[in-house]
Amino acid sequence: MSPESSKDLLAYTPMLHARMFIETVKFRDHHFQPTRSGLATPAKRSTNGPPPDLYLDGHPKIDRPLFVQFCANSPDELLEAARYVEPFCDAVDLNLGCPQGIAKRGNYGAFLQEDWDLIYKLINKLHLNLDVPVTAKMRILESKEKTLEYAQMILSAGASVVTVHGRQRDQKGHKTGMADWSVLRYLRANLPPDTVIFANGNILRHGDIHQCLKETGADGVMSAEGNLYDPAIFAKPPDAGSDEREYWRGRDGRGGYRVDAVFRRYMDILYEYVLERPSPARKPLFLPSDPLAQEISVTSNGVAEDDCEPPAKKRKRDSKQLKPTSPNLLAMQPHLFHLLRPLVTKYHNVRDALGRSRPGDIAAFENVLQMVEAVVKEGILDYEADPAKYEESDLPDEKEQAANLDKEESSVATIKECKRPWWVCQPYVRPLLKEALAKGSLTMSKKDKRKLEEEKVLAKATTEQGGKSAREQLDEEDGMNQEEMPKEAMVAG
Ligand SMILES: Cc1cc2nc3c(=O)[nH]c(=O)nc-3n(C[C@H](O)[C@H](O)[C@H](O)COP(=O)(O)O)c2cc1C
């Protein structure tokens, strides 16, 4: 991204458990590293300037703007946790969206949404006591009117930004479905015009960002999964015809950033900021138009199909030198599996080499990169030889499936729209519930079937009663109302 366009970016930390954050030094050190010496005590914003040993998180030159996100159910704990991070971020965010079982058992995230009084207190405590703004991430509720009331309460407590995930709490797992942007539009129309709203959900590709802003009237979009599969999702595609090695375009004009290019950039960022040593010299990325002598040859880089282990001595030295507890190194393998999903589905040797790459073993990851560069070259050459092969649909039965399901129930059109050759970053489009059931790729467990039936009955019975919602009754039946701390204290959601 150009320096100008990257000014539009804002990053959130993963959700941190407030109580764990204040109680466990190790947890703080492993998950938030604004200084090399760690965070022994809350560091109030100093008038004497920033601490001398600034490190990664919230670094003014490389990691701003940054919102630090917590989950909490005690205003005092939340404030104490926020005090540690406030000198290193631009806002503290409260997660009210996590729908996972662990959040239910721990009583945080979306499971606070019945307790508006507590939510108000959590947000207001930060609003009144922190030097940085407080923001919140919420899910939509059962109706647009109720969602508006909920957002109004959050804003009245002092939230400066409200991020709205356009799905309800029970839309997770196989029930995820589509986010409802119309509720966001309704919020935009009914909240004061100066309210800052970020929209979340359904952002699969770069083009969806503009579409979402247009349809919802939101001020920004948040992307999670789309950004994992395509880390270049916020980057505008280069102009057609530009000599751009990192971006591949097919003869139909459709394209995307190349996985080998993004993989390289990822490695180089890690070298610069985490490993703090120069990255290896790299040849230019392969282009079929390159003169032959300049080409990266599959054989010249020494990567054979089954030769995926670097020399044992080098591997040992590397893993000794590095700190495999660094969150940046621990995240490498899962990040790369997301980035390379379409590629490793085809090249199992790359999948296995990545699967064997341990945190901190940079030589092993470099080796995977070389393998990726080699197969991307193969793929691009194969495309040059026979582009039609890559333009044919490989979605069997799609017409049949689409005919039986309406747009909200079928992902066929979206898959077709998003599909690129496997050397290009692209979203993973999950089949929607009915589709997966129809295809037989998903079968409902007896428990799920029972729940679905129960929900239908309960929804009917409780609509007019004004009593507990179907979801609340089911939650109680589950017997999961005991508070639980997550083992790792950091849960996606
Ligand atoms: C791997 C993963 C981790 C996530 N972690 C968080 C989190 O820490 N905090 C949060 O508010 N949401 C988290 N989410 C949820 C996303 O922020 C987002 O609400 C949801 O995935 C829908 O948006 P998307 O379609 O852009 O993925 C996570 C989602 C994924 C897939």
Q: Mark whether 26 and 158 lie in a shared domain.
A: yes
Query: Looking at per-residue confidence, does 442 or 259 come out higher?
Result: 259
Average pLDDT over residues 3-20: 95
Helix ranges, 340-469 (H): 341-346, 348-356, 362-385, 387-391, 398-404, 412-418, 433-439, 446-462
Question: In 3-state terms, what secondary structure has residue 26?
Answer: helix
Mutate-to-test residue for ligand 1 from 12, 13, 15, highest number of ligand atoms within 8 A of CB: 15
For residue 109, the CA-to-ligand 1 centroid distance in Å is 12
Task: Give the residue whose CA is nearest to atom 2 of ligand 1.
Answer: 492
Supply the pTM of this predicted model.
0.84
List the one residue out of 135, 138, 144, 18 whose CA is nearest residue 83. Answer: 18
Token code pair at residue 41:
């005590």
**366, 389, 412 - which closes a domain:** 389
Ligand 1, atom nearest to 222 Cα? 26
pLDDT at 248: 96
pLDDT at 457: 65
Instruction: Give me the percent of the chain exceeding a pLDDT of 90.
Output: 67
Q: Mark whether 261 and 134 lie in a shared domain.
A: no
Alpha-carbon distance of 81 to 70, in angstroms, equals 8
Token code pair at residue 277:
């040593």
Task: Give the residue whose CA is nearest to atom 16 of ligand 1.
Answer: 224
CB 158 within 8 A of CB 127: yes
User: Is the pLDDT confidence value at 14 over 60?
Assistant: yes
List the one residue out of 262, 264, 271, 261 whose CA is nearest residue 329. Answer: 271
User: Is the pLDDT confidence value at 163 over 60?
Assistant: yes
Q: Mark whether 157 and 262 lie in a shared domain.
A: no
Alpha-carbon distance of 91 to 69, in angstroms, equals 9
pLDDT at 325: 80
Task: Give the residue whose CA is nearest to atom 31 of ligand 1.
Answer: 225
How many domains is the chain built from?
A: 2
List the one residue out of 239, 225, 232, 234 whose CA is nearest residue 258. Answer: 232
Q: Mark whether 117 and 257 lie in a shared domain.
A: no
Alpha-carbon distance of 384 to 380, in angstroms, equals 6
For residue 176, the CA-to-ligand 1 centroid distance in Å is 12
Domain ranges, residue 88: 5-165
Alpha-carbon distance of 295 to 322, in angstroms, equals 33
Task: Give the residue whose CA is nearest to atom 18 of ligand 1.
Answer: 224
Q: Is residue 406 part of a domain?
A: no
Average pLDDT over residues 30-39: 93
**165, 196, 214 - which closes a domain:** 165
For residue 137, the CA-to-ligand 1 centroid distance in Å is 10
Verify whether residue 98 is a known catalytic residue: yes
The CATH number covering residue 154 comes to 3.20.20.70
Q: Which of 98, 212, 308, 425 is catalytic?
A: 98
- What confidence category does residue 431 fall into, taking pLDDT thresholds of 50, 70 and 90? confident
User: Is the pLDDT confidence value at 467 over 60?
Assistant: no
pLDDT at 319: 47
Q: Is residue 181 part of a domain?
A: no
Question: In 3-state terms, what secondary structure has residue 299?
Answer: coil
For residue 14, the CA-to-ligand 1 centroid distance in Å is 9
**pLDDT tens digit string along 274-300?**
999 999 999 999 999 988 655 544 433
Query: Looking at per-residue confidence, does 39 or 476 come out higher?
Result: 39
Residue 101's φ and ψ, nearest 5 degrees, are -55, -40
For residue 58, the CA-to-ligand 1 centroid distance in Å is 20
Task: Give the residue whose CA is nearest to atom 28 of ligand 1.
Answer: 493
Q: Mark whether 261 and 159 lie in a shared domain.
A: no
Where is average pLDDT lowest: 167-181, 255-269, 313-327, 430-444?
313-327
Q: Is residue 49 part of a domain?
A: yes
Mutate-to-test residue for ligand 1 from 93, 206, 225, highest number of ligand atoms within 8 A of CB: 225
Q: Is residue 288 part of a domain?
A: yes
Average pLDDT over residues 316-338: 78
Query: Looking at per-residue confidence, does 352 or 3 come out higher?
Result: 352
Q: Is residue 453 part of a domain?
A: no
pLDDT at 24: 95
User: Residues lining ligand 1, CB < 6 A?
Assistant: 14-15, 69, 95, 97, 137, 165, 200-201, 203, 223-226, 492-493
Ligand 1, atom nearest to 93 Cα? 11
Q: Mark whether 151 and 33 lie in a shared domain.
A: yes
CB 169 within 8 A of CB 158: no
Q: Is residue 421 part of a domain?
A: no
Alpha-carbon distance of 419 to 36, in angstroms, equals 43
CB 491 within 8 A of CB 14: no
Average pLDDT over residues 4-18: 96
Alpha-carbon distance of 69 to 89, in angstroms, equals 10
Token code pair at residue 452:
């679905």
**pLDDT tens digit string along 96-121?**
999 999 999 999 999 999 999 999 99
Mutate-to-test residue for ligand 1 from 71, 113, 165, highest number of ligand atoms within 8 A of CB: 165
Task: Give the residue whose CA is nearest to atom 25 of ligand 1.
Answer: 201
| Mean pLDDT (the chain, rounded) | 85
Q: Mark whether 375 and 253 lie in a shared domain.
A: yes
User: Is the pLDDT confidence value at 188 over 90?
Assistant: yes
Q: Is residue 283 part of a domain?
A: yes
Ligand 1, atom nearest to 14 Cα? 8
For residue 222, the CA-to-ligand 1 centroid distance in Å is 9
**356, 389, 422 - which closes a domain:** 389
User: Is the pLDDT confidence value at 487 over 60?
Assistant: no
Query: Looking at per-residue confidence, does 31 or 464 come out higher?
Result: 31
Q: How many contiguous H segments (helices) and E segments (strands) does the chain have?
A: 22, 10
Q: Mark whether 155 and 253 lie in a shared domain.
A: no
For residue 225, the CA-to-ligand 1 centroid distance in Å is 7
pLDDT at 305: 38
Distances (CA, A) of 478 to 164, 397, 451: 27, 39, 11
Alpha-carbon distance of 10 to 63, in angstroms, equals 9
Average pLDDT over residues 80-100: 97
Mean pLDDT is highest, among 156-170, 308-322, 389-403, for 156-170
